[in-house]
Amino acid sequence: MAKISINLATGSLQQEELIVGIDLGTTNSLVAFINPEKQPQAINDTGKGLLVPSVVHFNEHGDAVVGNEAKAFLTTDPANTIFSVKRLLGRSYQDVADHQDLLSYKIIDDNTDALVKIRAANRFYTPVELSAEILKELKHRAEHALKTPVNRAVITVPAYFNDSQRQATRDAGKLAGLDVLRIVNEPTAASLAYGIGLNPQEQKTIAVYDLGGGTFDVSLLSIQNGIFEVLATNGDTFLGGDDFDRAIVDYWIEKNDLDRSVLQEDQVQMQTLRLQAELAKKALSTQNLYNEKAGDIWYSIDRQTFESLISENLERTLNSCRLALSDAGLTAADIDEVILVGGSTRTPYVKRKVEELFGRKPQDHINPDEVVALGAAIQADVLAGNRSDILLLDVTPLSLGIETMGGLMDVIISRNAKIPTKAGRQYTTSVDGQVNMKIAVFQGERDLVQENRKLAEFELKGIPAMPAGLPKIDINFILNADGILTVQAIELRSGVKQEIEVKPSYGLTDDVVEKMLIDSVTHAKEDVQQRMVIEARGEGEQLAYTAERFLEKNSQFLNEEEIEHTRLLIAQLRQSLQTADKDTILKHTDALNEYTRPFAERVMDIAISSAMKGKKIDE
């Protein structure tokens, strides 16, 4: 298959275009490329530094700034300053409900399994849009520094990211105007940066210990024939360098007898203290004592004290490592190589502890906050076919997936996946008592199936009649080494099963593939936008339906005015569903949701108390 790239500026095809590697981090993001000396190098846009803090700020007009500039608004305008958006990517509200209090901005409280949305400056943003802002900034910086258009990228994600989190990362790339050639696991990228996995003869088991700003994860990988397999992952999505900073702040509050309640009121002063603590922490990575005067107070801490402050947190990361080892059925002695990733592994105490646990000196000579992006750049170079020493395994030229709600393409095996491969996902019914389900298989990169190539369609019959949402239907795609795709559908409760075989490459010439790829890139933005409208409509529709059923059943618990107002909100929502404006739809969905939530609680309370009354209590 020919390697195709498109110059978005001219619309023409280019043979040799740069592909960048991007580390889209929770705290910091960065972009790297392979320089003319054939070495991976992080891109430093003049004077702006290598790391771009993953922070987005919106002003009242909805204009975004990203990075250090946005970070400055964390204290002055926290409600419109979004950080740690990676934690929300591809997650539903229910996934993140427990953590809302840790974030200063507003997450829309759907209380459903719909995807999270964020409200800032009176608009609604999906984590995909917010991540796209960060990616756009990285793209701009790369273009500015390298003086060439950058349209293609490899983006990394944590090894534990699920399907929907990976899809969301791809979408963010599309929205930023990037053709995402592959999503690569962060630990895999880090290994590549150390040259591990590049030699097809090599067989190794490695541990990647990644301690960032707000997250920790450890991954155990096995490498064979140039293929990385994740054996186990473990970690904590709320543990990282930020906790170390906080520990120092607490220590200084104690030591200097500062008034905690005053500080809590004064966000600006608190933030200043936090920044000071981060400086101290970083200094203690290379020196034994930090001692600085700010105002008329001396802020000092020595390395030993710092180590005792963080030892408990560090012990938790080591426990994660132990659990990962035991999940993979391995002991520390089975690990051939330990790699350190993440800015927080610069702390010498972290290095020492990791070395102690694995009984070997970890690899740490590559900058730990660049290593993932550097590895992504190497992967990009491999995909570009620039490395004759590495054989490129067979890959699928176009994504394969099925049609879901509203005519959307749900990708199951993505483009550029190595074959043979297998992937699957679970679906359910949308209508009560539904006994058949149509499964339409498509190929292509567009978000709407009508723009893609239809490969097959069949019906799964004999699903037992159940309320909507209860059946569990597994759809599996198995693509063998000869490029034959088997699509399997199984309803898990009843065991009814149906399968079909197709040859996706049948009738597919390089020209067709080329045209499909070009179309997908030229329409990427509108596609993602259209998809967000369809998804918003789906949710709005669902809520309007639920609210109507609720009124039918429970109107005796509501007064006239409440019933009237609910009806009005439903009507407004239904009307907004006719528009193609995602923000309008979300605004009305949110309004109905906020207004009716107390009713559901009221009905529940009444139901519980009448159940109690009805119960006879034995003496």
Do 129 and 115 meet the contact criterion of CB atoms below 8 Å apart?
no
511 is a catalytic site residue: no
The one of Mg ion, ligand ADP, none whose footprint includes residue 53, by CB under 5 to 8 A per kind, is none
25 binds Mg ion (CB under 5 A): yes
Which CB, 213 or 397, lies closer to ligand ADP? Answer: 213
Strands 408-413 and 453-460: what pairing? unpaired
Do 55 and 70 meet the contact criterion of CB atoms below 8 Å apart?
yes
Q: Which of 129, 179, 210, 369 is catalytic?
A: 210
Which CB, 362 or 540, lies closer to ligand ADP? Answer: 362
342 binds ligand ADP (CB under 6 A): yes
Question: What one-character-per-residue DSSP string does 249-278 give?
Answer: HHHHHHHTT--HHHHHH-HHHHHHHHHHHH
186 is a catalytic site residue: yes
210 is a catalytic site residue: yes
C-alpha span between 581 and 530 (Å, rounded): 9
Compose the 15-44 pattern: x for residues touching ligand ADP by CB under 6 A, - for all others.
----------xxxx----------------
The one of Mg ion, ligand ADP, none whose footprint includes residue 106, by CB under 5 to 8 A per kind, is none
Which CB, 25 or 67, lies closer to ligand ADP? Answer: 25
Compose the 369-408 pattern: x for residues touching ligand ADP by CB under 6 A, - for all others.
x---------------------------------------
The tokens 């796209």 sit on which residue?
132
Do 514 and 498 meet the contact criterion of CB atoms below 8 Å apart?
no
Q: Which helix (H) or strand (E) holds 604?
A: helix 582-614
**Cα-Cα end-to-end distance for the chain:** 80
Compose the 201-230 pattern: x for residues touching ligand ADP by CB under 6 A, - for all others.
-----------xxxx---------------
Question: What one-character-per-residue DSSP string does 62-97 give?
Answer: --EEETHHHHTHHHH-GGGEEE-GGGGTT-BHHHHG
346 binds ligand ADP (CB under 6 A): yes
Q: According to CB under 5 A, which one of 40, 67, 212, 343 is a site residue for Mg ion?
A: 212
Q: Which of 45, 71, 77, 86 is catalytic?
A: 86
Which CB, 27 or 396, lies closer to ligand ADP? Answer: 27
197: left (phi over 0), alpha (psi -120 to 50) or beta: left
User: Interaction with ligand ADP in 226-255: which residues (CB under 6 A)?
Assistant: 240-242
Residue 105 backbone phi and psi in degrees, to 5? -95, 170
236 is a catalytic site residue: no
Which CB, 370 or 381, lies closer to ligand ADP? Answer: 370
User: Interaction with Mg ion in 497-516: which residues (CB under 5 A)?
Assistant: none
Q: Which of 17, 23, 129, 217 is catalytic?
A: 23
Say which DSSP state 418 is in: B
Do 401 and 52 meet the contact criterion of CB atoms below 8 Å apart?
no
Strands (E), 492-610: 497-502
Residue 414 backbone phi and psi in degrees, to 5? -85, 155
The tokens 């399997």 sit on which residue?
488
137 binds ligand ADP (CB under 6 A): no
282 binds ligand ADP (CB under 6 A): yes
- Catalytic residue positions, numbered: 23, 86, 186, 210
Site residues (vs ligand ADP, CB under 6 A)? 25-28, 212-215, 240-242, 278, 281-282, 285, 342-344, 346-347, 369
